[in-house]
A and B are shown apart, each in its own frame.
Chain A
Amino acid sequence: MNGSSAHPVPLDQLPEERWASVVDVVVPINNRDRGLVLRLVELGFVPGERVCVVAVGRPGREPLAVRVGHTTFALRRHEASFIRVILQP
C-alpha cells in the first residue's frame, strides 16, 4: 500500500469521475446477494479492472452509473458495496 489515500473503499463510496481499480470482491452471506455479486463479477468487476462512477442519482447517490472496461452499468449502492476498489493516483 502506498500512502494514506491508497486504502480500499467500497465502490459505492468512490467519488464521481475518479478512476479506481478493483481490489477484491466481498462474498455476501445471503444467497440473493451472492447471486448478484456473482453477476457483477461476470460483468467485469474483477480484481485489476479499472472502474469509474460516471453519474449518480439524487437524492442519496442512488443509483450509480459505473463504467467498467468499455461498458457502463447502472447499479444500486447495495450491490456496489460488495466491490472494493482503490483510487488510482
Chain B
Amino acid sequence: MAVATIALPARIALLGNPNCGKTALFNLLTGSRQKVANYAGVTVERKEGTLHTAEGRRVSVLDLPGAYSLNALSHDEAMTRDVITGQSSEVLPDLLVCVTDATNLRLHLRMVLEARQLGLPMVVVLNKMDRARKFGIAIDEEGLSNALGVPVLSTVSVHAHGADALRAFLDRPVEATTPVPWSAPKLEQVLATQQEAQRIYQETVTVPVVDKDPSDRIDRVLMHPFWGFVVLALVLFTTFVAVFTLGSRLTDFIETGTGALGGLLMDHMAEGPLRGLLVEGVIGGVGSVLAFLPQILILFLFILALEASGYLPRAAFLLDRPMSKAGLSGRSFIPLLSSFACAIPGIMATRTIVNWRDRLTTILIAPLMACSARIPVYTLLIAALFPDEPVSGALVMVGLYTLGIVAAMAVAWVIKRSSGDRSRSPLLMELPAYQWPDLRSLVIGLYERAMIFIRRVGTVILALTIVMWALCTIPSPRSTTEGTPIARSLAGEVGHALQHVFAPIGFNAEISIALVPGMAAREVVVSSLGTVYAINGDPGDVENRLRERIASEWSLATKLSLLLWLVFAPQCLSTFVAVKRETGSWRTMWIMGGYLFGLAYLASLITYQLTTAITAL
C-alpha cells in the first residue's frame, strides 16, 4: 500500500465558472495586471504567475479560462478541461483552487462538485464575499466545508488584503492524492450532481427574499426591443463623438507641441544628418503618431467601461437577430467590438464561440472593423480632404466605420451562403448583474494601453521611421540630380517600382513608399508620410504640417482612393500571425489576406477612376 505523502503546494490552478473573478483574484495574488471585465469569457488563454504565501514561500499560480463545465462546448473551456484532467502536456497542479462567486453559489456549486470528482487536492474559495454580505447573503462556511469534504475560504479580490486567507492556507501541507480519470458525464449523472448541489445550497446558504433585482429593472429598458436599440445607438454615438471631438482637440495640442519642438531644434542645432534624423525622422515621423495617444485612450476608456459594466452581453443579445441576417450570432458581437480597439485580441476572443463556422467567419471579418491604429491615418486624410469643414469630416469618418461594418456583414453573408451550413448556432450567453466600473481597474487598464501604445511608438514605429528616413535620404546609385530628394533616394526607387501596381488606383510614389513599412504597423503610414514630406520640404519649414501638404499636393481622387484602401487593405502583419495561430491554417491566413487585398484594390480602383472621370468633366 502506498504511503500518503504530504507536501507544501508548489503549483496551484484557479478553476471556476466564467465571470466569478478568477483573474481578479489572480491579479491580486500575483500582482499581475491581466484584463478583467464583467462578462463571461474575458480570459481565453492560460496565464501563469507567482505568488508569495503568508510565510513568504513562492507558489506558481495558473489562471485558466472560465468553464461552466468540464464537459466543454467551446475552445477555451476545452483548454481548461485538458489542463486539469491531465490531457495536456502540463503537469497536474498540486492544489486545485475552485473559485466560486459567493453571490451566485447555486450555479457555481455544481462545478465544485464536478471538480471534486477529479480526486485532486482541492480548496473552495468563496469570492466576491463583500458583495454577498452587502446583498445580505449568509453562507455557513463550516457547514459547506463539511458537506463538500474540502476546506472553504472566503476572498474579496477587489481589496488589497482580500486574499490573505488563501495565502495563509497555502502554507499548510496538502496530502497527495490519486487523480481519477475524467470521462464525459451522462444526463442522469448531471441531474444527480445538480440535486446534491441544490441540497447543499439549501442547507448552507440563506438568501434574503428580494422582490426585484436592480439588474432586472435596468434590463427592462436596456433590453427593450425598441428602447434598447435607442440606448445602444446613443452609447456608440457618444463614444464616437468623444473620440473625435474631445480626443482630436487634445491631439492638436500635442501636435502644436511637437511642431514647436521641431522648430526649436531647427534653430539651435547645426545642420547635418543628426538634425535631419531628429527633425524629419523622430519628430516629423514618430511625433505625428504619438499625437494620437489621447484619441486612442478615450476609445479604450469607453470600451473598458462598457466591458466592466456588464452591458456588452446585453448589446450582443439585442444584436443577435440583426446579425443572424448576415449568418452570425450575438456571440460574435464582443469579439467584433474588441476589434475596434485592435483586431488581435478580437480574434483571440472568438475562442468563446461554440460553433466553428461562426468562429472562423468572425476571425475573417475582424480586420474590417476599423481598429485604433487606423485613427491616425483616417484623421490625417480627412483633415486634408475637408480642412475647414468639421461636419463633412465627421460624416466621412462615420462613413468609413460604417463601410467596414457593412463590408464585414456582406462577407459573413457570402461565407454563409457558400458554406451551405444552415445550422443555427447556440447562444447560451450569461447576462451578468450590472456593476459600476471600478475606477482603479479603469485607470490601470488605461495605463496598460497607454504603455503598450508608447512602447509600440518607441520601438517598432521609431525603428521603422528611422529606417524609412535613412532609405529616403541615401541617394540611389542610379539617381540623377533631377527631381525631389525622395525621387533620388533608395526609397524613391522602391516607390517607383511600386507604381506599376499602385498607379491605376492613384497612389503616387510617396504613398507607395509609406504603405510598405505600414504593413508592420498601420500608424507608420502616417509617420512615413511625415518623414517623406519633411525631407521633400523646405528645411526651414517643419511646422508646415503634413495635412496641409497632402491637402495641396494630392488630387481628390487620390485622397478618396487611399481612404478606401485603408478601410479594406490587410495592412497588418500581426493580424496575419494571429489568424494563423488561432485557425492553425496557412490557407485561412492567405484567404483572409487575399480577399482583403482584392476588396481594397477593387474599391480604390473604382473610387479613383470614377472620381477622376467626374472631376474631369
Known: A36-B428, A46-B198. A69 touches B190 (CB 8 A): no
Which residues, 174 to 233 on B, are CB-close (under 8 Å) to A?
185, 187, 190-191, 194-195, 198, 207, 215-216, 219-220, 223-225
Within the complex, the shortest CB–CB distance from B342 to chain A, in Å, comes to: 26
Q: Once the chains bind, are B427 and A75 in contact (CB under 8 Å)?
A: yes
Docked Cα-Cα span, A49 to B71, in Å, equals: 22
**A33-51 contact mask (Cβ, 8 Å, vs B): 1 or 0:** 0111111111110111100
Q: Once the chains bind, are A41 and B427 in contact (CB under 8 Å)?
A: no
Q: Once the chains bind, are B107 and A44 in contact (CB under 8 Å)?
A: yes
**A47-89 contact mask (Cβ, 8 Å, vs B): 1 or 0:** 1110000111111101101010111111110110000000000
Which of B290-298, B317-325, B472-480, B535-543 lies at the interface? B317-325
Residue of A nearest to B316 (CB): A74
Q: Once the chains bind, are B68 and A39 in contact (CB under 8 Å)?
A: yes
Does B431 count as interface, using CB distance less than 8 angstroms?
yes
Q: Once the chains bind, are A72 and B320 in contact (CB under 8 Å)?
A: no
Which residues, 486 to 541 on B, are CB-close (under 8 Å) to A?
none
Docked Cα-Cα span, A76 to B187, in Å, equals: 21
Q: Which of A41, A69, A74 contacts B313 (CB 8 A)?
A: A74
Q: Once the chains bind, are A42 and B223 in contact (CB under 8 Å)?
A: no
Residue of B nearest to A34 (CB): B187
Residues of A within 8 A of B423 (CB): 32
Q: Once the chains bind, are B330 and A55 in contact (CB under 8 Å)?
A: no
Interface Cβ pair total, 8 Å cutoff: 114
Q: Once the chains bind, are B103 and A57 in contact (CB under 8 Å)?
A: no
Q: Which of A42, A54, A79 contacts B68 (CB 8 A)?
A: A42
Known: A57-B225, A63-B317. A38 touches B190 (CB 8 A): yes
Within the complex, the shortest CB–CB distance from A74 to chain B, in Å, comes to: 4
Q: Once the chains bind, are A38 and B71 in contact (CB under 8 Å)?
A: yes
Q: Once the chains bind, are A58 and B317 in contact (CB under 8 Å)?
A: no
Does A6 count as interface, using CB distance less than 8 angstroms?
no
Which residues, 10 to 42 on A, are CB-close (under 8 Å) to B?
25, 27, 32, 34-42
Within the complex, the shortest CB–CB distance from B553 to chain A, in Å, comes to: 51
Docked Cα-Cα span, A55 to B69, in Å, equals: 26
Q: Once the chains bind, are A36 and B426 in contact (CB under 8 Å)?
A: yes
Q: Which of B195, B207, B426, B430 contacts A72 (CB 8 A)?
A: B430
Q: Once the chains bind, are A41 and B431 in contact (CB under 8 Å)?
A: no
Docked Cα-Cα span, A75 to B342, in Å, equals: 29
Q: Which of B69, B107, B225 contacts A71 (CB 8 A)?
A: B107
Q: Once the chains bind, are B430 and A46 in contact (CB under 8 Å)?
A: no
Known: A42-B190, A74-B427. A57 touches B198 (CB 8 A): no
Q: Which of A37, A46, A63 contacts B194 (CB 8 A)?
A: A46
Residues of B within 8 A of A39 (CB): 68-69, 71, 73, 428
Known: A74-B427, A76-B427. A44 touches B194 (CB 8 A): yes
Q: Once the chains bind, are B321 and A38 in contact (CB under 8 Å)?
A: no
Known: A55-B219, A74-B427. A69 touches B318 (CB 8 A): no
Residues of A within 8 A of B68 (CB): 39, 42-43
Does B104 count as interface, using CB distance less than 8 angstroms?
yes
Q: Once the chains bind, are A38 and B431 in contact (CB under 8 Å)?
A: no
Docked Cα-Cα span, A83 to B106, in Å, equals: 19
Residues of A within 8 A of B104 (CB): 69-71
Residues of B within 8 A of A55 (CB): 219-220, 223-224, 317
Within the complex, the shortest CB–CB distance from A39 to chain B, in Å, comes to: 6
Residue of B nearest to A46 (CB): B194
Q: Once the chains bind, are B428 and A79 in contact (CB under 8 Å)?
A: yes
Does B424 count as interface, using CB distance less than 8 angstroms?
yes
Q: Which of A40, A47, A71 contacts B430 (CB 8 A)?
A: A71
Residues of B within 8 A of A70 (CB): 103-104, 106-107, 207
Q: Once the chains bind, are B321 and A57 in contact (CB under 8 Å)?
A: yes
Docked Cα-Cα span, A62 to B317, in Å, equals: 9
Residues of A within 8 A of B431 (CB): 65, 72-74
Q: Once the chains bind, are A73 and B73 in contact (CB under 8 Å)?
A: no
Docked Cα-Cα span, A11 to B224, in Å, equals: 20
Q: Once the chains bind, are A69 and B107 in contact (CB under 8 Å)?
A: yes
Residue of B nearest to A76 (CB): B427
Residue of B nearest to A35 (CB): B73
Within the complex, the shortest CB–CB distance from A46 to chain B, in Å, comes to: 4
Residues of A within 8 A of B198 (CB): 46, 48-49
Docked Cα-Cα span, A49 to B427, in Å, equals: 21
Does B22 count as interface, using CB distance less than 8 angstroms?
no
Within the complex, the shortest CB–CB distance from B375 to chain A, in Å, comes to: 32
Does B406 count as interface, using CB distance less than 8 angstroms?
no
Docked Cα-Cα span, A46 to B110, in Å, equals: 12
Residues of B within 8 A of A41 (CB): 187, 190-191, 194
Does B443 count as interface, using CB distance less than 8 angstroms?
no
Does B274 count as interface, using CB distance less than 8 angstroms?
no
Q: Once the chains bind, are B429 and A73 in contact (CB under 8 Å)?
A: yes
Within the complex, the shortest CB–CB distance from A51 to chain B, in Å, comes to: 13
18 chain-A/chain-B pairs, Cβ below 8 angstroms: A37-B187, A38-B185, A38-B187, A42-B190, A43-B68, A46-B191, A47-B191, A57-B225, A57-B320, A62-B321, A69-B104, A71-B430, A72-B430, A74-B316, A74-B430, A75-B428, A76-B427, A79-B427
Chain A to chain B: the 3 pairs with minimum beta-carbon distance, closest first: A55-B223, A58-B225, A72-B431
Extra contacts besides A46-B195, A79-B426 (10): CB < 8 Å:
A34-B187, A39-B71, A42-B110, A55-B224, A65-B219, A69-B107, A70-B103, A73-B430, A76-B424, A78-B426
Which residues of A are interface residues toward B (Cβ below 8 A)? 25, 27, 32, 34-44, 46-49, 54-60, 62-63, 65, 67, 69-76, 78-79
